[in-house]
A and B are shown apart, each in its own frame.
Chain A
Amino acid sequence: MVLFLARRVGQAALILLGVAAITFVLLYCLPADPAVLIAGRSANPQIVAAIRHELGLDQPLILQFLHYLYGLLHGDFGRSYTEKTEVLPLILARLPATLILMAAGIFVEVVLGLTFGVVAAVLRDGPIDRVIMMLSFVGVSSPQFVVALLLLYVFAATLGWFPMSGFGTPANVVLPAVTLGVLGAGWYARMVRSAMIEVLRQDYVRTAHAKGLRVSRVVMRHALPNAILPIIAMIGIDIGQFMGGVVVVEAVYGWPGIGQLAWQAIQQVDVPIIMGVTLVSALAIVIGNLAADFIAPFVDPRIRAQ
């Protein structure tokens, strides 16, 4: 177990290094010159050159990268080009909001996905199953931007149940979390349904039924734990998906997370912020997958046995 852990952490470090290198090179390849954007229209070439020097952009790429890595190892993510302030506090200030949103989004997708998936499997091929499957299809295929605006219109603007935007109260998180979770819920419902159908056909389920157990007990206690495994692995992957999704959702709902920060930084080629957000996101994805790997043996004894 310890060896397994050490190997996975080693892999994670390599992945992060790779992400850092690729992002760095990609940003370097952009034709846009941050020094020109910072110096503004009034600048003459001397001023642009002076700023390029200040930013260290006049050094060879490899030196710039090593310099960046050296900083990273000392907890220094560099300074934002546009905000002229340390990147790490900027990200840390916004990270909790994103984590809250992601946690709420995962909660929504798991609860909705499991409920609908199980109901559909138990009532398979009936009208309720059809409706659920159709809804899940709609959920999977709806662009988040559209879902967000629809929810805003119905539940915030028309019915007034939730605030239109903002942050801080539990009511604020509902609509963004549903927007973020609805896509995953659609996937989960479909996956849980097919996994459950398979499990429900197993002999031991028939035995359970034959013992005279209540349907709810057979489904919840005997069948579901065996159908849930792929979901756990998926949540790990979902964290990665969410890192992309939060950019849109945060933008529409005015959620003060790192997605919003990343979006603005990309517009302005603010390399240190883009690098910082990318690395933090990559770290979140790596941790998410690691966590999924660790949880799986506790849920499924077969994995433990390996």
Chain B
Amino acid sequence: MIKSLLKKTAFAAMLATTALVPAAFAVSGTPSKGGDIIVTYKDDIATLDPAVGYDWQNWSMINAMFSRLVDYKPGTTELGPALADSYDVSPDGKTYTFKIHPGVKFSNGREVTAADVKYSIERAVNPKTQGPGAGFFHSIVGADTMTAGKSQTMDGIVVVDDHTVRFNLVQPDATFLNVLALNFASVVPKEAVDAAKGDFGKHPVGSGAFLLKEWTVGQRLVFVRNPNYFVKERPYVDSYTVEVGQEPLVALLRLQKGEVDIAGDGIPPAKYLQMRKSPDFKGMIVDRQQLETSYVTLNTQIKPLDNPKVRQALNMAIDKNRIVRIINGRATPASQVLPPMMPGYDKSYSGYAFDPTKAKELLAEAGLKDGFTTTIYTSNTDPQPRITQAIQQDFAAIGVKAEIKALANPNVIAAGGTAGQAPMVWSGGLGWIADFPDPSDFYGPILACGSAVQGGWNWSWFCNKAFEARAQAADAMPVPAQAEARYATWAKIFTDIQENDAPWIPVFNERRVLAKSKRMGGSDEVYLDPTRVIDYEAIYVNK
């Protein structure tokens, strides 16, 4: 029913707009200012507080409302100056000093100073804020005492003068600039936070490209251009309106009718292939790699998965190409932990090839000639259970009987983070995507000893002291001087982990899909930016 529904309406929409289509295609490629666009999402926007917001929707909006000391160049993973005109790193890599661009104003009219930077990051770390980004700042001196509730400020952030701020780190942290480019490091004015009386998320004040003009709960948010934005040539669109509560299918129908410019939730899996092939949708689908790997965790503390041979056998049992077909080709089979766009990805490493015969031999060597029974946890939203069933069938072919436990996401996360509970977890749908483009982000939170704890995210419960030492050494290598060497070191760490210990079955790297109207201009990279998702600053309307 739905299938023909879209086809017919697409046709009708085409008839209605044929006259406009050539015009829309005629000129494109040069960004120009102007235009008001409409973006839709299903879920309501939870908050616009940069210390709190951490989901697909609000991440992009917060990013465009606030500024940070450093930021990525649009569409790339390359860091550049933002609020800070320049910065200095001490030779030991433990002190960072930033010069703040003078004359940048918050939307309340006050100038942004070094004290605001200090306040904002302390606020993000303070447990009273209950933000999800506190852990990223752990390398700053004083973060621990603040977490412990022993201090309301951090000694490691020093206001040198109004336009100079210095960070002292406990140890060198090669990813520190990446951390400062996260939304959590956005600069906010203290007086506006205080005035909002605990409701800053609904009354945000920043110094970014857009201002929040209107927020009607459950319906729409209207963002308008910040006339005083310190990057003069941006943003391009005059305003963007986010309409929430829109079912993805309804959003696509409206997109075809020209009522919507960006369907933020993309295309439901069942419709993907059809829309991809349809000429009606040419130029309307953005489909891009992201910094994501979907994997099965193999709990290294639960028998018989504690035996590396068993884990290697399971790696060989999975027909990744077939699984990719199940999700209509919206992914690429993965050979390793890191996704291809991530620095440190090893092109030459091919991982474990699909080989059920060899897998059975390995199981026999491990003393499990007749296989074993186990349990695999998965998110219960489509297509995750179907993918898990395919994995289950592949396991069955080598004699491993896996029972599927499909649960709501929070319960899967709880099972994975409880010692001895989940032998395997399928990570799909649980929102695992890199926070910043650095390989260490795939180690610390999900493969390090420190995260193999109750409530942690290392669901393989993998903890290898030798790798721990190598990881620390890699992160102590100063950036940018030894950036390449550091990436190479990380690359080797990840391939060695997989080759020797195989705590994961990397299954595929999922692409993200978004649908946009034909009048929207700009390269695919700014619609699915590696760190921002939608880059509202860089998108524009074709004239």
A contact set with B: CB distance below 8 Å: 30-33, 35-48, 50-51, 53-55, 79, 81-86, 90, 93-94, 97, 149-150, 152-153, 157-158, 164-168, 250-257, 260-261, 264, 266-269
Contacts and interface: CB of A to CB of B under 8 A. Distances in A.
A79 B198 CA distance: 10
B148 A50 contact: yes
Contact of B413 (A37, A46, A152, A256): A37
26 contacts: A30-B410, A35-B455, A38-B132, A40-B135, A41-B135, A41-B432, A41-B435, A42-B133, A44-B450, A45-B456, A48-B455, A53-B127, A54-B128, A83-B47, A152-B250, A164-B250, A164-B259, A165-B246, A168-B219, A250-B245, A251-B245, A254-B246, A256-B217, A261-B44, A261-B218, A264-B46
B445 A42 contact: yes
B132 A254 contact: no
A43 B435 CA distance: 13
Contacts, number: 169
B134 A164 contact: no
A173 to B, nearest CB: 14
B26 interface: no
B246 A84 contact: no
Given A36-B417, A36-B455, A50-B127, A43 B218 contact: no
A24 to B, nearest CB: 17
Contact of A41 (B2, B43, B52, B445): B445
Q: Considering the complex of A and B, which 6 residue pairs feature the smallest CB-CB distances, nearest first?
A: A256-B218, A40-B132, A42-B135, A254-B245, A32-B410, A50-B127
Contacts of B44: 256, 260-261, 264
Contact of A42 (B5, B253, B410, B435): B435
B190 interface: no
Nearest to B9: A157
A20 B49 CA distance: 30
B437 to A, nearest CB: 15
Interface string B263-293: 0000000000000000000000000000000
Given A36-B417, A158-B9, A269 B410 contact: yes
A75 to B, nearest CB: 16
Contacts of A257: 218
Contacts of B245: 165, 250-251, 253-256, 260
Query: Among B52, B246, B249, which residue has the most Cβ atoms of chain A within 10 A?
Result: B246
B180 to A, nearest CB: 14
Interface in B399-418: 408-411, 413-415, 417-418
Contacts of B301: none
A43 B417 contact: no
A68 B5 CA distance: 48
Contacts of B52: 84
A33 B249 CA distance: 33
A38 B54 CA distance: 9
A100 B121 CA distance: 44
A77 B338 CA distance: 44
Nearest to B200: A84
Interface string B129-147: 0101111101000001001
Contacts of B132: 38-40, 42-43
A85 B46 CA distance: 10
Nearest to B54: A40
B101 interface: no
Contacts of B457: 41
Interface string B245-261: 11101100110000100
Contact of A84 (B47, B147, B148, B149): B47
Nearest to A37: B410
A47 B126 CA distance: 9
Given A40-B135, A45-B455, A53-B127, 6 more contacts: A32-B414, A36-B455, A50-B147, A54-B130, A157-B9, A254-B250
Given A43-B135, A94-B217, A84 B49 contact: yes
Interface of B: 1-2, 5, 8-9, 12, 42-44, 46-47, 49, 52, 54, 127-128, 130, 132-136, 138, 144, 147-149, 198-199, 201-202, 216-219, 243-247, 249-250, 253-254, 259, 408-411, 413-415, 417-418, 432, 435, 444-446, 450-451, 453-457
- The A interface, classified by DSSP as helix, strand, loop or mixed, is helix
B302 to A, nearest CB: 17
Given A46-B144, A157-B253, A32 B411 contact: yes
Contacts of B54: 40
Given A38-B130, A254-B250, A31 B411 contact: yes
B134 A43 contact: yes
A251 to B, nearest CB: 7
B414 A39 contact: no
A46 B410 contact: no
A284 B453 CA distance: 43
Contact of B130 (A84, A97, A152): A84
B134 A264 contact: no
Contact of B198 (A82, A84, A150): A84
A251 B198 contact: no
B181 to A, nearest CB: 14
B133 A46 contact: no
A53 B130 CA distance: 10
A191 B133 CA distance: 57
A272 to B, nearest CB: 12
A153 B5 contact: yes
A107 B332 CA distance: 52
A93 B135 contact: no
Contacts of A41: 135, 432, 435, 445-446, 451, 457
A230 B488 CA distance: 76
Contact of A40 (B8, B133, B148, B250): B133
A268 B410 contact: yes
Query: Among A90, A250, A254, A255, which residue has the most Cβ atoms of chain B within 10 A?
Result: A254
Query: Among B1, B47, B250, B408, which residue has the most Cβ atoms of chain A within 10 A?
Result: B250
Query: Among B135, B199, B243, which residue has the most Cβ atoms of chain A within 10 A?
Result: B135
Contacts of A42: 132-136, 435, 444-445
A93 B215 CA distance: 12
A31 B454 CA distance: 12
B250 A51 contact: no
A54 B1 CA distance: 50
A167 B219 contact: yes
A157 B6 CA distance: 9
A168 B218 CA distance: 12
A32 B416 CA distance: 10
Contacts of A45: 453-456
Nearest to A258: B218
Contacts of A158: 8-9, 12
Contacts of A94: 217-218
Given A46-B147, A256-B217, A157 B5 contact: yes
A84 B144 CA distance: 23
Contacts of A267: 408-410
